[in-house]
Amino acid sequence: MAVMKPIASLDIPTGEEWLYEIKYDGFRCVMHWDKDSIRLTSKNGKNLTESFPEIVEFCSEHESTVANFLPLILDGELVVLNTDYQANFALVQQRGRLKDSTRIKQAAEERPASFLAFDIIGLHGTSIEKEPLLKRKETLATVFQQIGKGKTLSFVPGHSNPKQLWDILFDHKGEGLIAKRKNSTYQVGKSHRDWYKIKNWRKLHGFLTTYDSQNNYFTVGIYQGDDVTEIGKCAHGLRETVFATLKELFLTNGEKRGAFYHLPPAICAQIHSLDLYKNELREPAFASLLPHEQPSTMTRKRLKLDMAMLPETIELTNTDKTFWPKPGYTKGDLLTYVREISPYMLPFLKERALTIIRSPDGVEKDFFYQKHLPEYAPNFIERIPAGDNEFLLTCEGLDSLMWYANHGTVEYHIPFQKRASEYPTEIVFDLDPPDRNSFPLAIEAASLLKELLDQLNLISFVKTSGNKGLQIYIPLPEQSMSYEQTALFTQAMAWTIEKAQPKSFTTERMKKNRGGRLYIDYVQHGKDKTIIAPYSTRKTPEATVATPLFWNEVKDGLSPEQFTIHNVPGRVKKLGCPFSDYQLAKQKQQTESILTLIT
């Protein structure tokens, strides 16, 4: 089905006549929803229905809620979401290529897709394309009030503040935003001046090595050690005169091999791209040539920092300094990791008083704990008084998090309550085996604890400590339990597990008296005591991470060394975040079973 397409723009139009939406990186799709019938069609007319059975199943199950609106035609985006603002194009592209129904079903179970509706163009079987956008948005919102909130089928709202939306988009490394005139009608194609797309470009640096005379593309390369590595091809973005000069330079001075003309690394450029995937730049365009840059600076390490999209507020220092000597990871690797994982980590840091460990010269050198903000901290870090002219360490956004990382922070510890509250926001059990070799004890204890919590109908989450143990989380509704109550519960659970297997588990606080048993640390859960934050790096030789897990991963063969700054971001993008429903679980958690147990 032909759709209305946004026009590319470098600038965000502003004014009262505009509203703004997140642009998601997926398949543009039109949904035809009729009684007992769902059809998903791409903007190119391809039938996608069989490729996304979870969407069809959801609509069938919720058909009664929208029966009064049918038939419906919704315009939107088919995506696999990493976060609420970032989609995983590689995964939705892989799904679209699958033909076997069994593999499609498996993919739908492992990483379910979502249909994000941003417009409605058919209602009660009648076109409403001529109605103004704002009215169509109101109609769409009414439909979704009946469907309810969910991930499988969601409503993309309009926003009035483009800067605020762009800041959120940048923090999540989203694809871009769409600006739409509030009074615009739905017009097929691009013969309009009503919808504009503004991309959130990655700004990459490389040098040009080859010109292809058949398609006018230039090959972009970088240095990986002493070797030249290709990272993609680019043809567009330069002014005609600049492009002609560049082309002539290759034709005149390049070594000809068939249709290709080769030059040694000399001509540097900045390239705009949405992503770099398997040596293929997505939607690349030249930003500029860089005559004053040296090819030797166009390296793999610089490319990683370019791809990370670090905030401009952070003045990077010593990015080549080795922080983890054993695997050879640098400060630049730390910064890249923290930036990539920030959308998943920040929700657990916000509104908390932090305790951090800083190792400015690497994890094998001197380190120190810090609980108060230094005087030289930038103004974008919120000042919360802590008495005697001191301020708490706070982390309310990406800039703050990256500033801490840039100053050598390798661990983030958080209390169990928010700064403004006396009540715990979660219960956490720390399962601490005597050493790494005894990690199977943590697996066994976690499995026993999960059984007990399931019997109490409690929603629980699990993560590695990043060192040698596991930690079990029970999110709590706001102000639902006091620390006195949670202490009774954690003690009861710990004693129950200890009694079940006294030769394996203990609540003995003195290490010398534990006799090689796993310590169930229930005492640590108390006001102002802290625990390592989800996704925090650790000051370990391997650069391990306190990694959220899916419960089905807690089994023989699991090891904390499996999760490092090298692979955790990719793991989250591939599998999803195991803590993605944590806030929802807080709202749904029923604590009556706990209160009954301790009274």
Residues recognised as catalytic: 23
Q: Rounded CA gap, 338 and 406, in Å?
A: 10
Q: Rounded CA gap, 138 and 194, in Å?
A: 18
* Helices and strands counted in the chain (H then E): 14, 30
First vs last Cα of the chain: how many Å apart?
A: 62
Q: Rounded CA gap, 348 and 570, in Å?
A: 20
Instruction: Tell me the Ramachandran region of residue 227: left when phi exceeds 0, alpha when psi lies from -120 to 50, beta otherwise.
Output: beta
Q: If you ran DSSP here, which 8-state letter would residue 309 be given?
A: T
Q: 10 Å Cβ neighbour count for 526?
A: 17
Q: Rounded CA gap, 66 and 139, in Å?
A: 12
8 A C-beta contact, residue 123 and residue 72:
yes
Sign of CA dihedral 422, 425, 427, 429: negative
Q: Can you list the alpha helix ranges (DSSP code H) found in 185-274?
A: 240-253
Angle between helices 331-349 and 300-308 (to 10 degrees): 20
| 3-class SS shares of the chain: helix, strand, coil, % to 5 | 30, 30, 40
